[in-house]
Structure 1
């Protein structure tokens, strides 16, 4: 499984890193799927560094546009 897992983690981390490049930038990074849930079958969550694991917030599918609007309007 490492032959698939390690490249998958590398690609996801690379994509997530492209969202925010500088200290003055803001962005939303969304990853969807069971692979990012701790303890799920075929989860790659445990392969992320601890600081990145802490940044992952589990959300329900009904996360609304108004919540995104609140994020973008906040300082």
Structure 2
């Protein structure tokens, strides 16, 4: 069984290839799966992977409905 790594804001930004500020904005808008421990923000790698898959699926589905 693969270990489910816990990612902080910096690790999330590396995974998404964006800045930590962008990650924080997305979290503030409740766009990314996350949880807080005190003031620190984290997510599990599996949560982020599932979110990415959902975004790709949603994007692909929307593009098929265009005429």
Structure 2-normalised TM-score?
0.30
Question: Greater strand percent: which structure?
Answer: 2
Structure 1-normalised TM-score?
0.27
The structure whose RCO (Cα within 8 Å, separation 6+) is larger is 2
